[in-house]
Structure 1
Amino acid sequence: MRDYEIYELGDVLLQSGVILPNAILAYKTYGTLNAAKDNVIVYPTWFAGLHTDNEWLIGPGKALDPEKYFIIIPNMLGNGLSSSPSNTAPPYDHGNFPVVTIYDNVRLQHQLVTKKFGISKIALVVGWSLGAVQTFQWGASYPDMVKRIAPFGGTAQTRPHAQIVFASMIAALQADSTWENGFYKQQPTAGLAAMGRVYAPWGFSQAYYLEQLYQQDGYHTSEDYLVNYWDQVFLTFDANDLITMLRTGISGDISANQAYNGDFELALRSITACALVMPGSTDLFFPPQDNNYEVQCMPNARFLPIDSKWGHCAGIGQHEPDSEFIDQQLKIFLGE
């Protein structure tokens, strides 16, 4: 049975100028909205993530405690639950699905929060990876609404190096002979496996591989790890859906809209919410020095790296010490 709700957005004008018909936003809530409607936490999903993948950070006694907070997890456009190539009718099905941006995602999430629930104040927006980029966008787009933001493992702007890695993942997938310009008759599994291989050296740090830390998850050799984890990790997703989310990541920039006209520093200065920015200390996608620069431009921000050899994936909820650190810091942040 479906464990999430659908918010119907109608025909949506995207930043690209395309009107996406009958758009939907899939979401799940946890906890109860209080009478003042001010106990709200918004927790966007990430590349190749569903709302269920965010649940490791939610629970009684945790920072995101549903007994205290009303937590909303909106699914990213393109993840197969919200509007995506795999669930959209022609003419925007499969390989014809339009590019959607971080700004598009957050603007539609704002509609859900305000029109569906009547919320005008948000206690915290939090997210990892592309969820972190959305978190920054919330702070820049709705500074009077958001009290706190806590992006971890992601930057406010996708830098050129990460753009190239994301583009390489797309190229690896599309090299599959069954790709057929996105109108494949069956999922291009060889391309999906190749995408995993491209991701593998960037998702974790050099030390992670050097010290064979994958053995903690039961993989005996690096080849065992690659074949039985990374070659499989994207096979449950539709290929066009993955490409849509990667293109969203490539264009990630909180200033790429009419409010800031590409002035990145102005967008950062406009984030007046209290901010706790937690990069992975060995993150190769979104290195901590990029976050450190961003924090210096923000008026109420604190820079606190996650000291970990798990690289970007320090924030995915798979390594208990990293997960405990994130949860503890969020508890302190919410209590300030």
Structure 2
Amino acid sequence: MHPQYYEAGDTLLQSGTVLPGVRLAYAVHGTLNAARDNGIVYPSHYAGTHDDNAWNIGPGRALDPEKYCIIVPNLLGNGVSTSPSCPPPGMASMDFPAVTMLDNIRLQHRLVTEVLGITRLALVTGHSMGAQQAFHWGALYPDMVERIAPFCGSARTSRHNFLFLEGIKAALTADAAWAGGHYAAPPVTGLRAFARVYAGWAWSQAWFRERLDMQVLGLPSLEAFLTHAWEPHFLSKDANDLLAMLSTWQGADISANTHYDGDFHQALAAIKAKAIVMPCRTDLYFPPEDSEIEVARMPDAELRIIPSIWGHMAGGGLNPADATFIDTALIDLLAR
């Protein structure tokens, strides 16, 4: 689907830097009803675009475009919205400023309210960094968001998750061809290293123990898994875009703003939305234990653990059983 663009103009970031000429890319499935109360926000995840959320949208599903208006905004830095690879005129790729989750949510709020005229959202949902955005929507606009359904994500990036991201960042930037971000051609060696370090984290130990890379994907070896199922995705991305989104991910924290001044428990308690939080039992960087802590502090939240060995990828729509689990939870939540 070709995206639409919200021309947001010069935008003051949380850092105090002004990012000029911001364009927020987004896709819309369905139409707003007369009351404008059937809007759902479903943001993109790390290294993904609006198209990567399409698996979870369709007639007969919870996110049914015949019932709801589903808005899929693209993260700043993802290569479709304003990013290092498509910076404002006059800005070099390596000069792209740090963007926070708060910056993204404020921009999405402007789109939803100023362009689409929505004052109340039926749901905000998402996978991974999309889940983090759902938590942020709930904490930053508690009177606007009726429900949130984050899956395979967290309200803030854990210290362990931060370290994992440092590892993949180091693998990419160690390539001399990256040249401090001043590369003339893609730093292929660094991108391959990035992908290989990442591959062991996205899927669970049990997934590999059961040889699902061979049984489900039909690949003859782990090397084939890396070269055919994992590396191509990251080789298609811009290195500085990956690093920009990674920075946003590392800093994600619903309390890291002037609303809550770092009081994480207060920020969780402020989420009024009805919530179903869905971690995967085997997710290596968004583990259920973190979700249990978050749900315990939220006023109207239920924890539903995805009983899958697909790890973080349980939230990606690749395994039909996991997709059904998520869809069922969304149906239940939207019925409340």
The answer to whether the 8 Å contact 2:15/2:98 transfers is yes
Deviations 1:68-117 (A, max 9, x none): 00000000000001110011136543111111011110010000000001
Matches of 1:15 and 1:209, distance apart in 2: 41
C-alpha separation between the residues in 1 aligned to 2:37 and 2:307? Answer: 32
Query: 2: CA distance between counterparts of 1:218 and 1:78?
Result: 33
| Amino acid paired to 1:268 | L
1:45 aligned partner, one-letter code? S
Q: Matched residues in 1 for 2:231 and 2:307: separation?
A: 28
Q: Distance in 1 between matches of 2:67 and 2:269?
A: 31
- Three-state SS of the structure 2 residue aligned to 1:10 is strand
Give the CA deviation at 1:213.
0.9
* Paired amino acid for 1:102: M
Q: Output the TM-score relative to the length of structure 2.
A: 0.98
How far 1:16 sits from its partner (Å)?
1.1
Is 1:333–2:333 an aligned residue pair? yes
Q: 1:156-193 deviations in whole A, cap 9, x for unaligned?
A: 01001111111111111111121111110111111111
In structure 2, what is the equivalent of residue 225 of structure 1?
A: 225
* Partner residue, 2:320: 320
1:297 maps to which residue?
Answer: 297
CA distance in 2, matches of 1:27, 1:117: 12
Residues 40-85 of structure 1 show CA distances to partners (whole Å, capped at 9, x for unaligned) of: 1000000001000000000000000000000000000000011100
Name 2:248's counterpart in structure 1. Answer: 248
1:21 corresponds to 2:24: no
Structure 1 residue 333 displacement after superposition: 1.3
Q: How does 1:164-243 map to 2 (within 5 A)?
A: 164-215=163-214, 216-243=216-243
Query: What CA distance in whole angstroms lies between the structure 1 residues aligned with 2:46 and 2:154?
Result: 14
Quote the Cα distance in structure 1 between the aligned partners of 2:29 and 2:224.
37
Rounded to whole Å, the distance in 2 between the matches of 1:92 and 1:139 is 33
Work out the CA distance in 2 between the residues paired with 1:190 and 1:61.
44
- The one-letter code of the counterpart of 2:217 is D
CA distance in 2, matches of 1:117, 1:34: 11
Quick check: 1:163 aligned with 2:125? no
1:231 to partner: Cα distance: 2.3
What is the one-letter code of the residue matched to 2:13? L
8 Å CA contact 2:22, 2:88 repeated in 1: no
Q: Distance in 1 between matches of 2:302 and 2:90?
A: 45
1:17-53 C-alpha deviation (Å, 9 max, x unpaired):
1100001100010101000000010000000010000
Q: Which residue matches 1:147?
A: 146
Q: Distance in 1 between matches of 2:223 and 2:185?
A: 27
Distance (whole Å) between structure 1 residues aligned to residue 153 and residue 304 of structure 2: 13
Q: What is the root-mean-square deviation of aligned Cα atoms in Å? A: 1.0
Residues 228-265 of structure 1, C-alpha deviation per residue, up to 9 Å, x if partnerless? 22222201111100100011000010000000000000
CA offset at residue 221 of structure 1?
1.6
Distance 1:193 1:311 in 2: 21
Write the distance in 1 (CA, Å) between the matches of 2:137 and 2:20: 24
- Corresponding letter in the other structure for 1:235: L
In 1, distance between residues paired with 2:25 and 2:255? 26
Q: SS at 2:234's partner residue? A: coil
Amino acid at match of 2:110: Q
